[in-house]
Structure 1
Amino acid sequence: GVDTRLDPARAFDLASDLDELRRAARRHTLGPTTASLVNEAERRGIPTLRLDEHSLVQLGYGKYQRQIRASITSLTPHIATSTASDKDLTKQMLDRAGLPVPKGAVVRSADEAARAASRLGFPVVTKPLDGNHGRGVTLDLHDEEGVRRGFEEARAHGRQVVVERYFPGNDHRVLVVNGEVVAVAERVPAHVVGDGRHSVRELVDEINRDPRRGEGHENVMTRIKLDGHVEALLARAGLTTDSVPEEGQRVYLRDTANMSTGGTAVDRTDETHPENITVARRAAKVIGLDVAGIDLISPDITRSVHETGGGIVEVNAAPGFRMHLQPSEGKARNVAAPVLDMLFPKGTPCRMPIVAVTGTNGKSTTSRMIAHVLRHAGHTVGLTTSNGIYVNGELVTAGDTTGPKSARVVLSDPHVDVAVLETARGGILREGLGFDRADVGVVLNVQPDHLGLAGVETMEDLAAVKSLVAEVVTDHGTSVLNADDPLVVEMRARARGRIAFFSMNGGDGAAPVLRAHIAEGGLAVLREPTVLGDELVMYEGGQRLPIIRARDIPATLGGFAAVNVQNALAACAVALARDVPLPVLRSALSTFTTSFEQSPGRLNLYDGHPFRVLLDYAHNPSGLGYLRDLVRHLRPERGRVVGVIGVAGDRRDEDIREMGALASEAFDEIVVREDEYRRGRREGVGARLVREGALAAGTPEERVTTILNEREAVDAALRMARQGDLVVILVTEVENVWRQIRDFDSSGTPPRLLPDESRGARETHRA
């Protein structure tokens, strides 16, 4: 529906709209503790990923990652957080360690609470056994009636209640990180100071107008709320919210000094006595917390609690940082820094190498080749492709996974130490990259595909989108560019890191830009003709080193699959940029095939029938052009080529017709199908355009069959095939069609016809 708030006829209510925006911000923004840690990580160049809608955040990538939820870290022991949440157990452990704690008891009824208070001696404190944020805490109770009232207050926040001796003094929060005290704040409960003219309510309203105060944790301080607890506290002092305190009279509105209830904080870090620091450090160690908030009551923090009295009343897991980051008075402390020092000690890696691969054609195969090489080099590789996400070769998520969400899956996997990310145009336009920078950015080519969509009207527009992969390369990384594609060559002006070129035209056919690059000592990988066949060769620093012959890479189908020769050149450039040794690179390339298992939907050959089947994903004119050239080498001497072709509906009419024309050049019999998702076109329109292109290119009408459903079209082509034929299937549903090919019953396949037995027109067309 339409958002009526944007309607110019609607009356504008600034206050209401601002409140709504604030509520939205509170729902979606990180709290002050988590935000401080994320900001500190980003200052250090540590990548961050938010894992939920709250405060769970990943710092670092892959196997190097750590996680935080506010100040709970992935190093925080669960047993320590459980201990800290049990106030009685915490006190027992601290007492056993000789640390100053108040005596107390756990009670289950108001009568038990009254008896415990009498036994301990007044004044006492009541609080929930497993409470937090000061909820249900009542201080300085001097009689049985107060204890019973305090019990009920605590009972509302927990099933069990603690009654303990009250330590007089000031409330201090001591923050301990990794065994060291990093900040101390004196916490002052929410209060007003009378002026003899205004009521308590009016004084609170005036305090709440302070721009530093907001709802919850959105600002430095929290607004004070006048609720039943405040009214009860005032009543004990003989006051109401309408009372007018005398000038200078301090009226406390809360028992506890928590920031979340409107309290204020004064930094006391530099004034704290060394023995008090030792007490806090030992307390954190006893409980086992890596990040701990020690609540220390002391009449004078500049003197030892052993001398003045007082002690530890609580040890908190997940302590808030707000009071230290932005105290109401005193010096602000960057308490996030020591947490990051603990999670990522100096010299500890936080990132894994990222290889991002983009281009119109060849992304999936090149990405798979790169991942195959890096696995041979001993890495645990996370790979995203148009067929799914793989971790160390194992499929973990099937589907088209070339967008930012899929990239984040790999970057979040705790086993992965290098990421190879196929990066498609659509994901970039929708959400960006999913990562902030890459160690290697690969741009394979820019061909006319998806033009006219999402504001991408020209080839230059498309190149601008794809160039982003090279633009985010680190200063010490490598941009791998196709020297045979003018639009890709132009990207070197804005690509970052060093430039590595690859080219199918080495030797005497090398372009001037490539010759100059090599002369300057740059990295380049070229296909060069030799007497033993085409060879992949590297140049760097004035040296020429042969890598492997093209025909020795199984994926090139004897060197005839030019597209995979080109993909291998790019993969070699990436491997060399990542310092993969040449013997490892050669071994990896010599074991990379076009099998369905290694490269589903990319030049997969099946020879289990009397005829041969080639499955491929060619989906644009450039890709089909490469396939047409390969089919010329695979064409059976005395058989036909039957092709199944479909084109996505979001291509331009002229592109779809061109696909039909290319199919006419490649296939003797054409079966035209359609994708299930026609992307805005009416049923049959895309198939009609393919048919028009084929007929215009000279294919006789009787040799073009239209069957819209992919499964039915594939079945028809397989039944049409004779012994010795080649069936080429351009596929959408890769897994399903491959299964259909394997399961097809070819026992009734008729014998192959000799040329003089077949239709003359067919032979003429094939010639």
Structure 2
Amino acid sequence: MSRYEDIKLLRINYLRGPNMWTYRPVLETWLDLGKLEDHPSNTLPGFNARLTERLPALIEHHCGVGERGGFLQRLEGGTWMGHVLEHIVIELLNLSGMPTGFGQTRSTSQHGVYRMVFRARDEQVARAALAEGHALLMATINDEPFDVTAAVTRLRDKVDACYLGPSTAAIVGAATDRRIPHIRLNEGNLVQLGHGARQRRIWTAETDMTSAIAESIAGDKDLTKTLLKAVGVPVPEGQAVETAEQAWEAAQDIGLPVVVKPSDGNHARGVTLDLRKKEDILAAFEVAEKEGSEVLVERFIPGVEHRLLVVGGQLVAAARGEEFWITGDGQHSVRQLIDLQLNTDPRRGVAEEFPLSLIVLEDEPVIALDLQRQGFPPESVPPAGQRVMVQRTGTSSNDCTDLVHPEVAHAVSLAARTVGLDIAGIDLVCSDISKPLSETGGAVVEVNAGPGLLMHLKPAEGMPRPVGQAIIDHLFAADESGRIPIVGIAGSQGSAQVARLVAWLLHLNGRAVGLACGEGLFLGNRRVEKKNSAGWAPAHRLLMNRGVDAVVAENGASAILSDGLAYDRCLVGVVTDMGSLGQLDAHDIRSEEQLYKVLRTQVDVVLPEGVAVLNAAVPALVEMAELSDGEVLFYAADPALLAAHREKGGRAVFLQGGMAMLAQGSSEMPGAQVDTVLARYAAAGVSGLSADTVLAAVATAWALNIPPELISAGLDTFQPLQD
């Protein structure tokens, strides 16, 4: 069998927002099948068997058949390679831990060329999945070797490198559940929740309410203890030391056993517990000194370490720590036993989603010191049956939230408030979390800013806790969505002027308006950029601007096809016309039916409490009304076109004697003098304004509940833009 040439990837484009395919970001790829256009799956000997052997879970893909095994039915019946590539990529993403279920493949007007799309939360991961899927497909077609496991591993590494960490993802997921939009602000875990002036920001489990002073206090363990002791929170007695000899002297003053730790370390690094001998204390000092700027010696508190999460002054989750031991077999060394008995725990790994880290002795001087103190250095071989403690302060991973005594909850809440943290991880040692600290002799040993959430999301034992939801409820009141009014305007005739008029009317209504349209980028009345700003990037910039509490964005069909919309939902979505067909050949949009699918995107994203504003003079836009989740408001110069809508009690705007009339059902009232605005434009020699344009702006303003009197006054004072 001669080798088939690789399918050509003609164009790869990431659509960042709602688009003609779906509400979510997708990667769109244009494929040229070449000679494979004449060879569907059922004509390639052995292809289907090779593919399903490599990706057995393809049986779970329903495809258009709508049932398990649906895609395999399509394979056996014969389907084209673009469709096969779609399902391969989806399955690779599923295997790599970034599951997706959406994909589509459609032919274009060019023979053998297809548009294939799939859901993609991250562009880099999506491009990597496409490359791996393309290689796998060609290897399978040509009966060549391909290592699926290696490909999935590479994709997993890409997911780990590019996607949000588990703590951030939990908070973002909780925001999504409450329909609060989010924007990722960097390649790490800095995320904006909400838009414009109503936004909040998080960075893992820190928020824009987290005080820098409080974070600095939490990083200074000695200062933290001083403040906690002053308000009555029990803390272990201790003192700062500068030398190993001072550490031994302090230990004698405090009373053995003691703990030696760095004053500004984190994640228990450099912390050595239960020290009773001088040589151990001297060695522990050397370990702690390497991890922080100052060393503390503290009274050792007997008991189990717990991590308690406080959000907004309330305890929301608690986890109990574990000690980790190995058992000797008389044959393997301590190092080998750690790998055999502890590092094989499925909870351990190097990625963030693992609640426990792999134990690498070279990176854990405290563990190495503890082993030495027990008489079992890493290369020693413990006798059969000999138990050796490896890790005293393993990550707290067993949920115990329901056991926490109210007085303990009060103490950790007070500790967080005293330091000043809105979100805090409180490390507390006690023998029984269900009893007051006064009975157990327990104490708070550390207060942490930006605590990890994974132990509460995926506890080894007990119930996962909705800590992401608790943080979102802390940041946003129950009736807050983080959304600002967004007006999206799609069309090709006068849409920039509609956008400018609407922004002006919003400004008069007391809003700090950001405007992105064909005439530039505006903040209030100030044009900050003159270049064409109708598209994803300028509108996205406005959504990130804390000084903006309303956004008006123009989106032509080409912008929607190139990038998608900059917002997930809008309060008002406007479609003015079905023009621009001749300008979309590069996107292979050549019919009104295809254009309809593009422009409907603007209506699809209207919020349930929002309004779709549509031109009733265009039959296709009248049909589009049924797609709106919110109200529909029609406008047209001819009132006869609005009769049926008004009979149903709907709102409409029409032209009568040069006046824009606002109608709902049988009632009518004047909105604004259209002729006056048109005359002002004509006198200024500025083109681009028509009666339909003004009607669209008036209808949009009314959809925004701007009073008719203000609409009229706004049009009377609006000035055309002159360069």
- Aligned counterparts, 1:284-323, within 5 A: 284-323=416-455
Cα drift, residue 213 of structure 1: 3.7
Cα drift, residue 367 of structure 1: 0.5
Q: Distance in 1 between matches of 2:500 and 2:230?
A: 59
- Aligned counterparts, 1:608-687, within 5 A: none
- Aligned counterparts, 1:396-407, within 5 A: 396-407=528-539
Q: Distance in 2 between matches of 1:290 and 1:228?
A: 32
Kept after mapping to 2: 8 A contact 1:551/1:558: no
Give TM-score scaled by structure 1 length. Answer: 0.71
Change (3 A) 1:271 1:395: same
Cα drift, residue 559 of structure 1: 12
Kept after mapping to 2: 8 A contact 1:552/1:558: no
Aligned to 2:465: 333
Query: Alignment partner of 2:321: what SS?
Result: strand
Aligned to 1:527: 655
Q: Which amino acid in 2 is paired with 1:175? A: L
Kept after mapping to 1: 8 A contact 2:368/2:377: yes
Change (3 A) 1:129 1:371: same
Write the deviation string for residues 716-737 of structure 1: whole angstroms up to 9, x where unpaired: xxxxxxxxxxxxxxxxxxxxxx
Which of 234, 245, 248 is residue 114 of structure 1 equivalent to?
A: 248
Kept after mapping to 2: 8 A contact 1:296/1:314: yes
Q: Distance in 1 between matches of 2:595 and 2:510?
A: 36
Aligned to 1:218: 353
Aligned to 2:693: 567
Which of 218, 228, 235 is residue 84 of structure 1 equivalent to?
A: 218
Aligned to 1:252: 389
Which of 693, 696, 702 is residue 576 of structure 1 equivalent to?
A: 702
1:493 aligns with 2:653: no
Query: Alignment partner of 1:570: what SS?
Result: helix
Aligned to 1:392: 524
Q: Which amino acid in 1 is paired with 2:247? A: A
Query: Alignment partner of 2:510: what SS?
Result: coil
1:502 aligns with 2:627: no
Q: Distance in 2 between matches of 1:234 and 1:32?
A: 32
Q: Distance in 1 between matches of 2:186 and 2:555?
A: 24
Kept after mapping to 2: 8 A contact 1:128/1:161: yes
Write the deviation string for residues 335-382 of structure 1: whole angstroms up to 9, x where unpaired: 222222221123345211111001012221111100001111111112
Query: Alignment partner of 2:174: what SS?
Result: helix
- Range that drifts further, 79-88 or 144-153: 144-153
Change (3 A) 1:237 1:301: same
Aligned to 1:452: 585
Aligned to 1:683: none
1:162 aligns with 2:296: yes
Query: Alignment partner of 1:590: what SS?
Result: helix
Kindly indicate whether structure 1 or structure 2 has the higher relative contact order, using CA contacts under 8 Å at least 6 residues apart.
2
Which 5+ residue runs of structure 2 have no aligned equivalent?
1-7, 10-127
Q: Which amino acid in 1 is paired with 2:635? A: F
Give TM-score scaled by structure 2 length. Answer: 0.75
Cα drift, residue 457 of structure 1: 2.6
Q: Distance in 2 between matches of 1:283 and 1:276?
A: 11
Q: Distance in 2 between matches of 1:127 and 1:322?
A: 24
Aligned to 1:183: 317
Count matched residues.
583
Q: Distance in 1 between matches of 2:275 and 2:249?
A: 14
Q: Distance in 1 between matches of 2:688 and 2:560?
A: 28
Kept after mapping to 1: 8 A contact 2:513/2:524: yes
Q: Distance in 1 between matches of 2:508 and 2:166?
A: 44
Which of 463, 475, 480 is residue 343 of structure 1 equivalent to?
A: 475
Q: Distance in 2 between matches of 1:37 and 1:61?
A: 16
Greater C-alpha Rg: 1
Aligned to 1:478: 611
1:552 aligns with 2:676: yes
Change (3 A) 1:463 1:170: same
Kept after mapping to 2: 8 A contact 1:355/1:442: yes
Q: Distance in 1 between matches of 2:607 and 2:231?
A: 51
Write the deviation string for residues 665-687 of structure 1: whole angstroms up to 9, x where unpaired: xxxxxxxxxxxxxxxxxxxxxxx
Aligned to 2:111: none
Write the deviation string for residues 614-653 of structure 1: whole angstroms up to 9, x where unpaired: xxxxxxxxxxxxxxxxxxxxxxxxxxxxxxxxxxxxxxxx
Query: Alignment partner of 2:585: what SS?
Result: coil
Q: Which amino acid in 2 is paired with 1:470? A: V
Change (3 A) 1:146 1:564: farther
Q: Distance in 1 between matches of 2:368 and 2:148?
A: 32
Query: Alignment partner of 1:35: what SS?
Result: helix
Which of 37, 48, 65 is residue 182 of structure 2 equivalent to?
A: 48
Q: Distance in 2 between matches of 1:284 and 1:591?
A: 54
Which of 554, 558, 566 is residue 426 of structure 1 equivalent to?
A: 558
Q: Which amino acid in 2 is paired with 1:418? A: A
Cα drift, residue 13 of structure 1: 3.4
Q: Which amino acid in 2 is paired with 1:595? A: L
Q: Which amino acid in 2 is paired with 1:454? A: H
Kept after mapping to 2: 8 A contact 1:41/1:59: yes
Change (3 A) 1:308 1:93: same
Change (3 A) 1:480 1:164: same
Kept after mapping to 2: 8 A contact 1:125/1:166: yes
Change (3 A) 1:498 1:91: same
Change (3 A) 1:209 1:455: farther
Cα drift, residue 493 of structure 1: 3.2
Cα drift, residue 313 of structure 1: 0.8
Aligned to 1:706: none
Change (3 A) 1:459 1:188: same
Write the deviation string for residues 450-493 of structure 1: whole angstroms up to 9, x where unpaired: 22112323232222111100111112211111122233233223
Write the deviation string for residues 190-220 of structure 1: whole angstroms up to 9, x where unpaired: 4445677876525634554444443232234
Which of 168, 193, 200 is residue 34 of structure 1 equivalent to?
A: 168
Q: Distance in 1 between matches of 2:612 and 2:514?
A: 20
Q: Distance in 2 between matches of 1:427 and 1:187?
A: 53
Change (3 A) 1:210 1:432: farther
Query: Alignment partner of 2:391: what SS?
Result: coil
Q: Which amino acid in 2 is paired with 1:358? A: A
Which 5+ residue runs of structure 1 have no aligned equivalent?
259-263, 597-737, 739-767
Aligned to 1:715: none
Which of 446, 464, 467 is residue 600 of structure 2 equivalent to?
A: 467
Aligned to 2:53: none
- Range that drifts further, 559-568 or 217-226: 559-568
Query: Alignment partner of 1:188: what SS?
Result: coil
Q: Which amino acid in 2 is paired with 1:25? A: V
Q: Which amino acid in 1 is paired with 2:371? A: L
Change (3 A) 1:240 1:148: closer
Q: Which amino acid in 1 is paired with 2:643? A: R
- Range that drifts further, 549-558 or 69-78: 549-558
Cα drift, residue 112 of structure 1: 3.1
Kept after mapping to 1: 8 A contact 2:322/2:392: no
Q: Which amino acid in 1 is paired with 2:523? A: V
Kept after mapping to 2: 8 A contact 1:137/1:255: no
Aligned to 2:191: 57
Kept after mapping to 1: 8 A contact 2:348/2:356: yes
Q: Distance in 2 between matches of 1:111 and 1:23?
A: 46
Q: Distance in 1 between matches of 2:610 and 2:163?
A: 33
Aligned to 1:234: 371
Q: Which amino acid in 2 is paired with 1:22? A: R
Q: Percent identity?
A: 38
Q: Which amino acid in 2 is paired with 1:238? A: G
Change (3 A) 1:84 1:504: same
Kept after mapping to 1: 8 A contact 2:181/2:194: yes
Q: Distance in 2 between matches of 1:487 and 1:183?
A: 54
Give the alignment's Cα RMSD to 1 decimal: 2.7
Change (3 A) 1:282 1:62: same
Write the deviation string for residues 382-427 of structure 1: whole angstroms up to 9, x where unpaired: 2111343322222345533322232222222222222111123333
